[in-house]
């Protein structure tokens, strides 16, 4: 018996029960495709988060109120002073913070915008200074930014994100139009370029307006949400961070650098926490996928067991006319390997095709190792789990097999 003949016997065996063979292959197919697609989704989401964080700019720092990283330490400070516009002004002083290029205090709120009867809940209404645009890497696509003059005069002007623009205006150009945000009329002066990316908040669903205008209309003139700082260069973020800490300890009257009531985070640190979350996400998806692959493998075992039991008489006949154990073992092994090879191969194809579609807003990015890994695991499962019933069948004495009912 040469390998070609063993293969021919195996194909014959599979063809004898097409529906069952097809269903088994489907099990493997789904397992392999699930591994490839789910891992690609996990990978795609971490990639897009990375991209969108990089889009924010790598030399910007964000100052927010509360304890530093490490948790719980903020509680030890006697009082937590909120961030104010004065803090931002202190940071803008080039003599005390030479590595700071620009400072943009931010207040954020969520409001409903209405234009011509169309209403849209804006994810983020930001009140800030013009420096915000550069520090947050937000570029205007149509129209213009608002100016420092608009801030000084608390003009009711706004730059809107691309999602907000399409939701409110559709194909109409928003520039120069008046929209109503939370009861206050704003004139749209510009539309931001699409940032894209994923995450739980669409970065393009935003309205950016002068700080005093937003404070006046919605948040009041008390504390601000955060301060966005741009360092002079990407290398200057660390000295800038130190300068910011020193200045704010002064304005907040703090002595102990281990008990701060604010925290300064760079995009880099954001990036690492985000990618950690994403890794967990990917691992979870991978586990789900691995389970489905295992279930596919159990399917093969089950089918091989049933096939062998059903064909025990045939095995007896073959042994009676002199089929050696190895040949019978080979035939059944070849059958299960073929099942898993074809099922796995189709699974790879299905997985690669499936990865071309957006899944829950994420563009999957295929991990090449997952393709090889899933395929190899499928084939290994076929060999291993197919081998067990095949071995059982081949070990039967001919008469035992022939008497089998």
Binding site for another protein (CB under 8 A): 1, 5, 12, 16, 313-314, 316-327, 397-399, 402
Element at 341 (helix H, strand E)? helix 325-354
**Shortest distance, position 196 Cβ to another protein, whole Å:** 58
User: Residue 115 phi/psi, 5° resolution?
Assistant: -135, 125
Q: Which is nearer to another protein, 117 or 322 (CB)?
A: 322
Measured from the CB atom, is 1 or 287 closer to another protein? 1
Please tell me what DSSP assigns to residue 81.
Answer: P
Counting Cα atoms < 13 Å in the Cβ hemisphere of 157 gives 22
Locate tokens 């009082």: which residue?
A: 79
Minimum gap (Å) between residue 21 Cβ and another protein: 14
Contact 135, 229 (CB under 8 A): yes
Beta carbon of residue 318, minimum distance to another protein (angstroms, whole number): 7
Closer to another protein by Cβ: residue 315 or 381: 315
**Residue placing its CB nearer to another protein in the complex, 12 or 170:** 12
Where would I find the H helices in 137-266?
A: 148-152, 162-169, 211-214, 237-251
Q: How far is the CB of 395 from another protein (least distance, A)?
A: 8
Q: CA–CA separation, 62 vs 52, rounded Å?
A: 16
Per-residue 3-state assignment (H helix, E strand, C coil) for 232-282: CCHHHHHHHHHHHHHHHHHHCCCCCCCCCCEEEEEHHHHHHHHHHHHHHHH
Short-list 202, 177, 204, CA closest to 192? 204
Closer residue to another protein in complex, CB, 89/325: 325
- Smallest gap, in angstroms, from Cβ of residue 314 to another protein? 6
Cβ proximity to another protein: between 249 and 327 the closer is 327
The whole-angstrom separation of Cα 14 and Cα 21 is 6
Phi, psi of 123 (to 5 degrees): -60, -40
Which of 132, 143, 139 is closest to 186 using CA atoms?
Answer: 143
Minimum distance, C-beta of residue 326 to another protein, in the bound complex (Å): 8
CB of residue 338 vs another protein: minimum separation in angstroms? 18
Show the DSSP H helices in 124-161 as ranges. 131-135, 148-152
Q: How far is the CB of 353 from another protein (least distance, A)?
A: 35
Q: Which is nearer to another protein, 338 or 394 (CB)?
A: 394
Beta bridge partners of 109: 125
Nearer to another protein by Cβ, of 345 and 398: the residue is 398
CB of 286 or CB of 330, closer to another protein: 330
Determine the Cα–Cα distance for residues 397 and 399; give it in Å rounded to an integer.
6
CB of 324 to another protein, least distance (A): 4
């Amino acid at each position: 018996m040469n390998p070609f003949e063993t293969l021919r016997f195996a194909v014959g065996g599979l063809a004898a029960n097409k529906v069952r063979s097809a269903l088994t292959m489907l099990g493997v197919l789904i397992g392999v495709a699930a591994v490839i697609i789910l891992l690609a989704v996990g990978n795609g989401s971490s990639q897009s988060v990375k991209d969108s964080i990089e889009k924010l700019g790598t030399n910007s720092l964000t100052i927010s109120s509360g304890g530093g990283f490490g948790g719980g330490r903020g509680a030890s400070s006697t009082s937590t002073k909120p961030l104010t516009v004065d803090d931002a002004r202190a940071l803008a002083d080039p003599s005390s913070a030479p590595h700071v290029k620009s400072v943009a205090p931010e207040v954020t709120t969520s409001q409903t915008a209405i234009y011509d009867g169309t209403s849209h809940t804006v994810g983020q209404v930001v009140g800030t200074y013009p420096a915000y645009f550069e520090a947050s890497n937000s570029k205007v696509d149509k129209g213009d930014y608002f100016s420092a003059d608009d801030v000084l005069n608390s003009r009711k002007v706004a730059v809107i994100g691309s999602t907000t623009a399409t939701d409110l205006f559709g194909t109409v150009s928003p520039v120069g139009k008046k929209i109503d945000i939370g009861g206050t009329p704003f004139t749209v002066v510009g539309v931001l370029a699409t940032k894209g990316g994923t995450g739980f908040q669409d970065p393009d669903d935003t309205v950016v307006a002068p700080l005093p205008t937003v404070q006046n209309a919605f948040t009041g003139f008390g504390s601000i949400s955060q301060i966005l700082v741009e360092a002079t260069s990407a290398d200057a973020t660390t000295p800038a961070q130190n300068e910011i800490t020193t200045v704010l300890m002064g304005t907040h009257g703090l002595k102990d650098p281990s008990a701060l009531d604010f925290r300064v985070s760079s995009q880099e640190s954001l990036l690492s926490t985000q990618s950690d979350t994403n890794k967990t996400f990917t691992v979870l998806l991978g586990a789900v996928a691995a389970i489905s692959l295992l279930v596919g493998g159990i399917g093969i075992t089950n089918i091989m067991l049933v096939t062998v039991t059903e064909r025990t008489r045939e095995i007896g006949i073959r042994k009676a006319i002199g089929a050696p154990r190895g040949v019978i073992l080979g035939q059944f092994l070849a059958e299960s390997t073929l099942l898993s090879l074809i099922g796995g191969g189709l699974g790879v194809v299905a997985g690669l095709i499936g990865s071309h579609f957006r899944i829950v807003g994420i563009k999957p990015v295929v991990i090449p190792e997952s393709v090889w890994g899933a395929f190899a695991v499928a084939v290994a499962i076929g060999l291993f789990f197919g081998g067990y019933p095949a071995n059982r069948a081949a070990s039967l004495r001919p008469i035992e097999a022939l008497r089998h009912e």
